[in-house]
Each structure stands twice: as structure tokens, then as C-alpha cells.
Structure 1
Amino acid sequence: MMSRRNFLGTSGLALVGASVVSGRAAAAGIPEAPVMKEAVMQPPLHPTSGPDYQPVVTLNGWTLPWRMNGEWKEFHLVAEPVVREFAPGMKAHLWGYNGQSPGPTIEAVEGDKVRIFVTNKLPEHTTIHWHGQILPSGMDGVGGLTQPHIKPGKTFVYEFQLKKSGTFMYHPHADEMVQMAMGMMGYFVVHPRDPSFMRVDRDFVFLLAAYDIEPGSYVPKVAEMTNFNMWTFNSRVFPGIDPLVVRKNDRVRVRVGNLTMTNHPIHMHGYDFAVTCTDGGWVPESARWPEVTVDIPVGAMRAYEFDAVYEGDWALHCHKSHHTMNAMGHNVRTFIGVNKKDVARKITKLAPDYMPMGSAGMADMGEMEMPLPENTLPMMSGFAQFGAVEMGGMFTVLKVRDGLARDDYKDPGWFKHPEGTVAYEYKGSVAEASRPAGQATTSKDAVEMKVVKPGSSKGGHGGQH
């Protein structure tokens, strides 16, 4: 639930501008700072005044409410320690904004004048950089270079006019290695002034972040550079990541920002799409091409669009295979092909709960619910209608359904496949390989084939229900 703090008066809070800020802000007082504790995607926040636009929805997140003060659209961000649930069974002690990491998405319109109050409740100083925005240098948020640092307990004010529409981010430029590694980041979406320009029916946003949190601990290793064990969409891992629920035939945009230490090839099943926006601006139609995977560089944003014409449950994930795993042990040895029976008998005398695994691959880890250390997750997790999904990390599902209401983002459950459209087990005989590769098949090699589909003992058209 979204709770609301009382309006904070100017007493006790220093109003220090990020650059020279007029007395208008001080006279108006500080707007409230809404807080979100739940890690569930909130409904889109539709505009009640000004230009119309299709608001975004943030996976496992929300949009920050604002107030109008004359011609200024005012927001209040609070930098503070937060507790973020990565998935049921694991929580992390992070730093974020307004109760969550990532912080709430900021939405506004091209040409808006925005005034953003930033209160620091961290144990050290901070700033906010408005990644990709065109603004006065003194509002750019680089501590020591363009502004004084925001000391603990202080509130700074950023004021600028939004020069262009597109997809941007916000994050600190102060003790950046620590504060970014602790989860301080958020989205800043600027909608076009013309409501018909680049209009879509559903607009999703999420940020990529990586953490190294040892089993049993709660705080990320902020000095880690390469061996991360939690790869996240909006500081959530599968199966805790919201699905992207879409109405059939909707025009859909997916905006992805990367604030990790490496690139991420984001792949979506079932569709091809066109990259239509970067944090530099909209991509001209003549420069787009069809893709099924888009690589997101470090410190960059990509938005892609498609028409949701194919119903189903379609995987959406990073295509680096280790990034779809949780709590990876980077020193785990490979035992594929190793007979562990003898050593297992000896080990179980000392550790009766020992389970020999890995001789035939790691899939059994996705099916078995083994005891785990405190506050961690299995490397592979999640179940669907046909069994273990054997995923983790940067993995979710695009769920396209017919007949949804305009703002219905509720999980519709698993897709009911039409009869005869599910892969099935072949029940016939299979010939042994008995000829050199490339040699033509002869009548002697012919094998009677009998296809048995689900729901039928005689072959023909069964179905999966």
C-alpha cells in the first residue's frame, strides 16, 4: 500500500538549491513524499490535467505522484535505506528512494517545468544526476563539480524545464561505486507534448541491476566488479518478477535501462520488434530494423515496440545464461559424467543430508526444494503449468491475452493452449544410428512410426488442457 507522510514544513530542513534557486520553492513549502513498501506493480498513474499521455507501468514498482504549484510540477524524492525483497525467501538491505529500490518512476511531459525536492536520509552525502536530460549545468547533479553534496538531513531543490521527450534515468553522482551498488536508481519518463506522437497502448519500464549478496547476508558487496550472484529486473529476480500482461492486438513498448557492470542482450520469445528509442532520443523510422534480441550497453537505455498479435506465454530474459540464475557459486566444480556413488556413501556417513548432484547436469536443482542457508534463493527456481522452469535472475514472461480491459494488468494465469498446439512425446520406435553420416536412407532403414499426442491412445489430434 502507498502511505503518505505528512507535509514537511521548511523548519528544520535546509532548502539549498542544486544551483541558484529562487525563493519560490521556499515559499511554497515541501510537497509530501509518498512511500511504497510493496514490491508489486502498481496501476498506471493517468494524468488529471495538462496534455494527455499513456502512462507507463513499472515492473514491481510505481510512479511518483506530484503536485502542481503554479506552472511547476513538483516531486519529492527521499534517499534512504530500504529493505527490498528480491523474491519470496530473500530480502536485501539496500539504499533507494521513497521506500524502494529502484526508486519510483518520475513521469512528466515535454516542456514541463519540474521542481524536484531531494531529501537525504542516508548516513553519507549524496546527489542526483538526471541521466540523459538536457538541463542547466548546475542542475546536473555531479557532487563537487556542479553542486555541493547533499549532506545527511538536508534537502536540495532541482529545477529545470524538460527539453525533449524520451526515456531517462536518475542515479547518484556521489560515492557512486557504493551508492549505485546499493541500489540507488530510478526511471524518468518524459512523454511527448503531442499525445499522438509515438503513442502505444501499454508501456512497461524496468532497470537492470546486479548484486553480490552472500547466502545468509543482507548487504551487497559494494566493491564487486565481476562475480555478481543476483541479476535483477528492478531489483527482483525470477520467480519474483512481475509478468508483462498485454491485451491482444495492443501496441506495446518495453523500456529497459542498464545500470550494471556489463551489457545485457535482452531477448523476447514469440515476436520480432523494432528499437524505437534510446536515452539519446527517438529513433527515426528509417533507421529501425527488426530484432528479437536487443543489447543494452552499460549506462544506456533502449526501448522497443511490437504489436501483440500472438497469444501465449512468451519468455523475456537476458540471453547471458548465467544471468538467468540466482545465488550462483562461482567456485562450484563441474561433475558432469562423474560417478559419485562411492564418494556419496562416504560423505553421507558424515553428513546424512548430503545429496550428490551434477553428474548429469544441473536440472535436478530446479526440481528439488533443498534446505538453503538463511536469506538466499536456489540457483534455479520457479514452476509453471508443465513443471520446473529452471530459471532465476533476469527472466520474466510476456503474457498476451485476448479480451483484457484497458488497464487490466493482473496476472491472468498460465496460457490455455489450443488443442494440438503443445509439443508432445513421440511414442514410436527410433532406429539406432547404423550408417555413416550423410549416407542415404534405404528401405531397410525404414521404421514404423506411431505418433501419440496427449489425450489420445491411438494418435491423431489430442490436446493439452
Structure 2
Amino acid sequence: MVTRRDFIRGSGVNVAATAAVITAAVGTSAVSRVAMAALPEPVSQTSAATQGPLMPPDGRPYDPVVTLNGWTLPWRMVDGVKEFHLVAEPVVRELAPGMKAHLWGYNGQSPGPTIEVVEGDRVRIFVTNRLPEHTSVHWHGQRLPNGMDGVSGLTQPAIPAGKTFVYEFVARRPGTFMYHPHADEMTQMAMGMMGFWVTHPKRDGARTSHPLIDRVDRDFCFLLSAYDIEPGSATPKIMTMTDFNLWTWNSRVFPGIDSLNVRLGDRVRIRVGNLTMTNHPIHLHGHEFSVTGTDGGPTPVGSRWPEVTTDVAVGQMRQVEFIADEEGDWAFHCHKSHHTMNAMGHAVPTMIGVDHSGLAGRIARVVPDYMVMGERGMADMAEMTMPLPDNTLPMMTGTGPFGSLEMGGMFTTLKVRRDQKPGEYGDPGWFQHPAGTVAREWTGSLAEPVRAPATSATTTTPNASTTPTQPVTPAVELKARKPSGHAGH
């Protein structure tokens, strides 16, 4: 892995030597001689751990974001231009301990690194294509010259395999954006090609210069993506439209998604982008938040109201903010229940209430590893010890301080602590609940519910003052007959 230190040091290398090394990989028709000489070293990252915020070493100041299970791409300043280098390439991404996926991404990871700039920055992004086919990069939500929009065939020629193109524009407005290909999208986005982009507002001393954007203590971001990877395999099925079995945040599934660790009283911002094939109602426990921004920019104050769930549709960004004023380990997840499970088989029949007595033993004589599933619900899945195929995950997994969490997919926790230091993002461990504040078993007596005898039930007509009550007619089985003679309807 090339480190950030190596990257910054690379800005002082001999220009002629750099140009000679890269000439073979860079299309001269795509990049000028001056741009080639200035091409920055690519920086790569393979760790799936959340990296700390990248404090700006040069350029305009800003308050950096923390990319959940990701990182921010370093840059260098050249004559007042902020330069980045993205490398589109095949990558191996650990979705959670025990499972890795063969994806496509940028700079060693899927999703690619977050790009952070400041309103008014002139930005130059070199994109090197190491994929087996052509690609492009669309800067989703940006105001820019049409020829920099990244739609292959429409606004630019596609970037051929082995070539490098350069994009250059001014970050004209602050907000929450993303980048992804606009070339063979069905394949490239299904394989994990995407990344986050944050344009910070200009600073005016201790305040931002934007009337609708406040400074926050913690600023997190992640992208929603989905994959269909059969147990035992590693490459997504790109033809899948709806039947995905792995729902991810930054190409990670629970229990591989890091917690969001904040200090009691912090003002927290969370930015979410959706590049899956369906919407996701993102739900936070224990707090209310307001939607303060979209990919269209900050929302007017009059349009904000308290929520605990916000729906993020396909291709949308949502930016939410709240005060972390309740200590604890609070669940944070997509509220579609199938999206908080892993490697889920959708053709499994519902067996609740089916008596398996003796059946499992007979089947086991033919299928030795057979186990009864689902006759009492699916919670047993979290406790099963059935051998899994290589390179897959349990459908329901994770262990908390009180036992199995029975979760997967798009799930993590917001950990709020009064002793978490400002700027400290480390996991503080499980919350120590004050005495008497945990739900517990009731061992006292319970009153029997009052029930009306079925034989004495009565019904009353609307005019009860003049009409006597009538006995309830005994229930009868409803029988229906399908009419005939309607063929072709």
C-alpha cells in the first residue's frame, strides 16, 4: 500500500522522470504533456477498518468527514489546483470476517475513497483505467462543464483499458455527492464501482459561510450497495435486478460494519447515498434527526422536521443531523427487515407450525447434514452450527452484551458516551447500563384478562334506546362457489 506520506512526498519528484515512467500508460490524446508531468502517484488502501479523518494539509480549511469502513483520498496542491488520482481496478473486499468478494472499485477498495474539497476549489482528477473494459466517471450531483459530466459516448469518449483521462472543474456548491461510472453501468455499478464526494462550505473564521450549513462535531458518510453472491462463490451476479442477498453499507455487512462512536452532546451529521436497486428507510433508535441536505444541496430550515426514519431512494443522497443526547448503544439500520440479513435464500418455504417429529431423522439417513429449519420461526438460524459453504456468512449473526443480535446486512450501532473524548473515534465497548434501566423478566403475578362469554354475547342496533338487543348469531363456516362461464376474463 502506498501511504499518504509517500503520496505527499511524491509531489516533489522529478517531473521529467515521472513523465517518462507514465507515458506508456497514459493516452496522449486524453491528457496534455503538462498534465502528464503533473500526474500524482495513486494511493491505495486495502484495510476495511474505518480510517480517521484526513485533516487538510494544505488548501482551504474544512472539518473533515469520517467514511464508515473507508477512507479519504489524499491530494496535492499544484498551482492552486487540488489534484487527485483515482484508479479503476478489480479489488477484493472483505464484506465481513469470513467472506470476501471479488469486486471492481477504486484505489484498492469498493467503494472507492471519499473525495473531500471546499466550495470554490478548482479540482483536477486523474482517472486511470485498470479494468478489462472501458469506463468513465460521472460526478453525481455536481454543477460542471458538460464535457466533464462523465457520460461515455454522450459527453466524452470512454476511457479505454490501460489509459488515463483527466477531469477538471470548480466545485461550485457545497453538498453531499457521489461518483460512479456512466459506462456499462449494469456491470460496473453491480460490481461495486462507486465512491463518496463531499464539498465543504467555505469557512469564515469559526463559522461556515453558508447560512444553511452548521458546523458539527462528528460527520460520517457511507454508500448503500447490494450484491447477489451465491454461498461459496465470490463474484456478484450482475444480471440480478431485485433478488439480492447481501445488503451493504460501504460494501460491508453486519457484523463487519463499524459502530458510529460519538460523545454525549455532540452534534452529529450522517450522509447516506443509495446506489442499490431499491429504496431504504434508514432508521435511528433513541434520537430524532432532521434532514438537512440532499444531493441538491442544503434543505431550507422551514422544510425540516423531526424524524426517526428517512427514506433514501435510488440515486439519492440524504444528510441528517441530530444531537447525541442519550447515552447507550443505539441500533441504526435499514428498516426493511430482509435488508438486515445475510446470504438469504428467498425460495425457502415457511415451515412455521409444521410438525417435523421424526422427519429429520428419516431425511438425515439420506442427507447426513440435514437440519430442521423454521418450524418455530427463524431465530434458530442465529444458533445453528450447520457447516457453512466456504466464503459465505450466517443469515443472522452478531453477538451483543445480552446474547445473539440475530442481524446482518445494513445494521450497526450508534455508541453515545459521556467520556468519549472530542475527536476520538475508537470503539468504547458495550454500554454499562445504570442499575434498574434494563428490561427484565417479571416474576410477579399476572391478572387474567376479562373475556366476554361467547354464549352471552349480544349485538346492538344503531337505535339502542328503542330496539332490544339481539343474540349473536352463531358463527358459521363461509363457503364460496366460483361462478362458471367467465372464461377469457
Q: TM-score, normalised by structure 2?
A: 0.86
1:290 equivalent in structure 2: 306
1:446 equivalent in structure 2: none
1:39-93 per-position Cα deviation (integer Å, ceiling 9, x unaligned):
0000000112333221000010000000000110000000000000100111000
Task: Output aligned runs, 1:82-93, within 5 Å.
Answer: 82-93=91-102
Overall identity of the aligned pairs, in %: 66
2:459 equivalent in structure 1: none
Question: Which consecutive unaligned segments of at least 5 residues does structure 2 have?
Answer: 209-213, 457-489
1:13 equivalent in structure 2: 25
Shift of 1:2: 5.5
Give yes or no for the alignment of 1:395 onto 2:411.
Answer: yes
Residues 2 and 391 from structure 1, CA distance in 2 versus in 1: closer, same or farther, beyond 3 angstroms? Answer: farther
Amino acid at match of 1:193: K
Give yes or no for the alignment of 1:345 onto 2:361.
Answer: yes
Distance 1:260 1:371 in 2: 30
1:158-189 per-position Cα deviation (integer Å, ceiling 9, x unaligned):
00001000000000000010000000000000
- Which of 141, 148, 157 does residue 148 from structure 1 map onto? 157
2:35 equivalent in structure 1: 25
1:260 equivalent in structure 2: 276
1:188-226 per-position Cα deviation (integer Å, ceiling 9, x unaligned):
000001252321110000000000000011100101000
Task: Output aligned runs, 1:171-320, within 5 Å.
Answer: 171-194=180-203, 196-197=207-208, 198-320=214-336
Could you tell me whether the CA contact under 8 Å between 1:80 and 1:96 is conserved in 2?
Answer: yes
Aligned partner of residue 25 in structure 1, secondary structure: helix
CA RMSD of aligned residues (A): 1.8
Amino acid at match of 1:296: V
1:402-423 per-position Cα deviation (integer Å, ceiling 9, x unaligned):
1222221111110001111100
1:236-284 per-position Cα deviation (integer Å, ceiling 9, x unaligned):
0000001000111111000000000000000000000000000000001
1:131-153 per-position Cα deviation (integer Å, ceiling 9, x unaligned):
00000000000001111110011
Residues 409 and 122 from structure 1, CA distance in 2 versus in 1: closer, same or farther, beyond 3 angstroms? Answer: same
Could you tell me whether the CA contact under 8 Å between 2:289 and 2:307 is conserved in 1?
Answer: yes
- Which of 56, 66, 80 does residue 71 from structure 1 map onto? 80
Give yes or no for the alignment of 1:113 onto 2:118.
Answer: no
1:462 equivalent in structure 2: none
Shift of 1:287: 1.2
Distance 1:234 1:416 in 2: 29
1:133 equivalent in structure 2: 142
Shift of 1:17: 7.3
Could you tell me whether the CA contact under 8 Å between 1:337 and 1:359 is conserved in 2?
Answer: yes
Could you tell me whether the CA contact under 8 Å between 1:16 and 1:156 is conserved in 2?
Answer: no
2:175 equivalent in structure 1: 166
Amino acid at match of 1:190: T
Task: Output aligned runs, 1:446-461, within 5 Å.
Answer: none
Aligned partner of residue 381 in structure 2, secondary structure: helix
Could you tell me whether the CA contact under 8 Å between 1:17 and 1:158 is conserved in 2?
Answer: no
Distance 2:120 2:303 in 1: 26
Question: Which consecutive unaligned segments of at least 5 residues does structure 1 have?
Answer: 440-465
1:419 equivalent in structure 2: 435
Distance 1:26 1:80 in 2: 20
Distance 2:66 2:263 in 1: 14
Aligned partner of residue 269 in structure 2, secondary structure: strand
Could you tell me whether the CA contact under 8 Å between 2:420 and 2:428 is conserved in 1?
Answer: no
Distance 1:118 1:408 in 2: 33
Aligned partner of residue 354 in structure 1, secondary structure: coil
- Which of 388, 393, 402 does residue 372 from structure 1 map onto? 388
Amino acid at match of 2:197: F
Distance 1:26 1:208 in 2: 34
Aligned partner of residue 35 in structure 1, secondary structure: coil
Residues 234 and 211 from structure 1, CA distance in 2 versus in 1: closer, same or farther, beyond 3 angstroms? Answer: same
How many residues are treated as equivalent by the alignment?
A: 436
Residues 335 and 63 from structure 1, CA distance in 2 versus in 1: closer, same or farther, beyond 3 angstroms? Answer: same
